[in-house]
Structure 1
Amino acid sequence: MLNPPQPSRADESAPIRLGALAPLTPPGWADAGRHLLAGLDLGVREANAAGGIHGRPLELVVRDTAADPQRATAAMEEFDALGAVAVVGEYHSVVARAAASRADALGLPFLCSSAVLDALTDRPTDWVARIAPAQSHGWRVYAGHVLDAGHRRIAVATQPSVYWASGTRILRDHLASRGGTVVELDTTARTPAALCDALADLGVTALLLLVGHPEPATTLVRAVRSDPRLTDVLIGAPAGQPELPSWSAMLAGSGAAVPFLRYLPADPGPLGSRVSDDLRGLLGEPPSFVALEGWDSIAVLSAMLRHHGTRRADLAASWSRTSVDGSRGPIRFSRAAGTTTWQWAWPPVHVADRDPAAPDRFRTLSAGGHP
């Protein structure tokens, strides 16, 4: 094995800066950002406790995107000016897309931790890689679960967004090819009561929430759960809103039995269990898969920096040569079909919900699914 590139003498003790993007304030999903940042922070602490990168500590420079693509673009410019060797993070897909496009233009490696929109850039690029699965992969698994549960007439409650439009298209294409139908209900044009009327009139058996959290998702759940006409209608949330503690805190028992996607293995293994325990200590609550995505991102970049040095171009050239034991399984990057970036293909995917008998407990509804 070739010896990894060594820093110049002048840089031997200087911190290695990593930019970090996360939604930490509204209208971003701050809960998701808090978990993502906890995972990133734990990964950096552990890397530095193990001696850093050839004796140089990692330094995480965090910027709040607040779900705003323009803030992400500005942050990427700032990271570039600060000499960051790479950038990690982000949860919201439209924000990650803006960051990825700017990373490609700047020649700044970006490892997207948690956003899933298939095409993060308009063209293939070596500057961007992703830990989270592509939306089309996970959402097809979810659509298969809905069909297996016996649902053929399905409504989706939507908001205007590239991400939600992409999700609607994936669900419609996958369900239609297997005898299902999808009716789209725009929540910006209907009150919750009017949406319930439409569900009753259409005779659907499942409503999938392709909307933001906490609003309008929580209001819609309460409206459907309290409507006696819709007692047998399944509520689903493929984007994973029920994963974070705020869902249960706001909805209690009404938020149970809402199937969603989790990017976790059926068996976490020793490393996953250890990382989860450490994250629980940092967060004061059970960590979500979003927190583990953050930890895995730092594990990947730490390995790349140790073996390939701190030059941006060298890092961008090393995605396909990187193999890391992540908290949720071995991580390797390839060019997955339909994506424009380097991709871990694939993180573990399963469908889960919160147990009606104990809303703080999760149930695995289907594991090891395939699109």
Structure 2
Amino acid sequence: MNTSPSSSGAERTDGSPVQIGALVPLSRPGWIEAGRHLLAGLESAVRDVNDAGGITGRPLELVVRDTAADPRKAAEAVDELACLGVAALAGEYHSVVARAAAARADALGLPFLCSSAVLDALTEHPTYWVARLCPAQSHGWRIYADFLLGAGHSRIAVAAQPSVYWAAGARILRDYLAPRGGTVIELDMGALAPTAVCDELVRHRATALLLLTGHPEPAVSIVNSVRRDQRLAEIMIGAPAGQPEFAEWAALLGDEGSAIPFLRYLPERLSPLGVRVETALRERLGEAPSFVAFEGYDTVAVLADVLRSHGADRARIAESWPHVAVEGTRGRIRFSRTPGISVWQWAWTSVQVADRDPAEPHRFRILHTG
């Protein structure tokens, strides 16, 4: 393992805080609502850890940095947090940002537990410094592809913006669906206006349109255009990346935002811990917590367990990933080496395909599980 001079400092007994660096998108162009839920989960868990006595008597403290969906800014934050002496990194929602943070953490020898970024290739080569809670993109999106096939969709258009993440998603869908009789039609949103998408859907005889685009734009404009085009009354709109999970989606789209299936990483029933945490998160957020908030909570729960058992030495934290066994809000968390994944991976939390009920847009329906 790579180590830095600050990675193996002696354990302190003076009651000073044990610090965790938290990477969170809190400003545009980051997905602010996702960042707010992630931070709420992280902070709620820190409060619970400290209420239970902290880390062998020392308080746990988050040192939060806003990544704003900017890979360069995230890498700079990792450098800063490493110099500040944090024991480990936590968080991040955007995959391309988490990839930059993971590369820098690996280079510095700083443990990083990624909460919510699903890109399979989180690092270019295998690393012992990085672990991940959320499922890899290939795992979740193949489950989504099974849902599409089961719903009778074989001609599937993807409205995609240029991005490593969106390109990976389109490739996963294409590679999985093609041997099973499905066709993926890629619509380049770098060249098409949202209104032009409708003509392309008609021309290609697509029965489903997947939004592989940023939120709120152009996703909201695409939905509005498609919903109002009578030629496309029967087409299914989907959003595997999870945009409809958040309240902002319903606020911006109203009824037009319902019946749009998306991926979420929740079991059908939360654990007893999950039920208690859900109540606390709802109070903190003023709304129903998303799966991202639970990911934040579980991230700190794992790191707190590791810190209690192995101390705040960075090398020992990284060495502990294969020995983790923590009861989280969504099940028992263990990390392993998974084929095709370069980091320590929880394989896997439960995956749902859900949507907002057209009759009650604030209620979710579970359509498929995997």
TM range (shorter): over 0.9
RMSD: 1.0
Alpha-carbon distance in 1 for matches of 2:178, 2:105: 37
Q: Deviations over 1:64-84 (max 9, x none)?
A: 000000010000000111000
1:80–1:108 CA contact under 8 A, matched in 2: yes
Q: Secondary structure at the match of 1:157?
A: strand
1:308 is aligned to 310
Question: Is contact 1:334-1:345 (8 Å) kept?
Answer: yes
* Matched residue, 1:105: 107
Matched residue SS, 1:333: coil
The amino acid of 2:307's aligned partner reads L
Q: Indicate how the Cα distance of structure 1 residues 9 and 220 shifts in structure 2: closer, same or farther if over 3 A, else same.
A: closer
Q: Residues 105-124 of structure 1 correspond to what in structure 2 (within 5 A)?
A: 105-124=107-126
The one of 5, 26, 29 aligned to 2:28: 26
Structure 1: give runs of 5+ residues left out of the alignment.
Answer: 1-6
Preserved contact between residue 12 and residue 55 of structure 1 (Cα < 8 Å): no
Is 2:353 the counterpart of 1:343?
Answer: no
The amino acid across from 2:38 in the alignment is L
In structure 2, do the counterparts of structure 1 residues 9 and 305 end up closer, same or farther at CA, with 3 Å as the change threshold? closer
1:322-360: CA deviation from partner (whole Å, max 9, x where unpaired): 100000000000011111000000011010000000100
Q: What is the CA distance between 1:191 and its match in structure 2?
A: 1.1
Structure-2 residue corresponding to 1:228: 230
Equivalent residue for 1:246, pick from 245, 248, 263 = 248
Shift of 1:12: 2.9
What secondary structure does 1:268 align onto? coil
| Residue pair 1:53, 1:306 contacting (<8 A) in 2 also | yes
Paired with 2:288 and 2:188, the residues of 1 have a C-alpha distance of: 34
Whole-Å separation in 1 of the counterparts to 2:272 and 2:332: 13
Q: Which secondary structure does the structure 2 equivalent of 1:334 belong to?
A: coil
Q: Contact 2:19/2:85 (CA < 8 Å) preserved in 1? A: yes
Deviations 1:37-70 (A, max 9, x none): 0000001011011110000001100000000000
Q: Distance in 1 between matches of 2:247 and 2:73?
A: 26
Instruction: Indicate which of 46, 71, 90 corresponds to 1:44.
Output: 46
**2:25–2:32 contact (8 Å) kept in structure 1:** yes
Does 1:293 find its partner at 2:300?
A: no
Distance in 1 separating the partners of 2:56 and 2:123: 33
CA drift at 1:11: 3.7
For 1:30, the aligned partner's letter is I
C-alpha separation in 2, matches of 1:366 and 1:133: 16
CA gap of 1:9–1:300, structure 2 versus 1, over 3 A, is: closer
Task: Tell me what 2:150 maps to.
Answer: 148
Q: Once the 2 structures are TM-superposed, how far is the Cα of residue 194 of structure 1 from its aligned partner? A: 1.2
2:91–2:115 CA contact under 8 A, matched in 1 = yes
- Equivalent residue in structure 1 for 2:61, among 50, 53, 59: 59
TM-score, normalization by structure 2: 0.97
CA contact (8 A) 2:120 2:341 kept: yes
Task: Give a deviation string over 1:119-173, Cα, whole Å, max 9, x none.
Answer: 1111100000000100000000000000000000010000000000000000001
Write out per-residue CA displacement over residues 78-128 of structure 1, whole angstroms, 9 at most, x where no aligned residue: 011100000000000000000000000000000000000001111100000
The residue that corresponds to 2:357 in the other structure is 355
SS in 2 for 1:208: strand
Q: Specify which of 130, 133, 143 is matched with residue 132 of structure 2.
A: 130
Distance, in Å, in 1 between the alignment partners of 2:269 and 2:81 is: 37
Deviation at 1:8, TM superposition (A): 5.9
Residue 195 of structure 1 and its aligned partner are, at CA, apart by 1.1
- Number of aligned residues: 362
Give the TM-score, by structure 1 length: 0.96
Identity of aligned residues (%): 64
Take 1:127 and 1:27, find their aligned partners in 2: how far apart are those partners?
28
- Which range moved further: 224-233 or 268-277? 268-277
Contact 2:11 2:311 in 1 (8 A): no
Q: How many angstroms does 1:268 deviate by?
A: 1.1
Aligned-pair CA distance for 1:9: 7.9
Aligned to 1:4: none
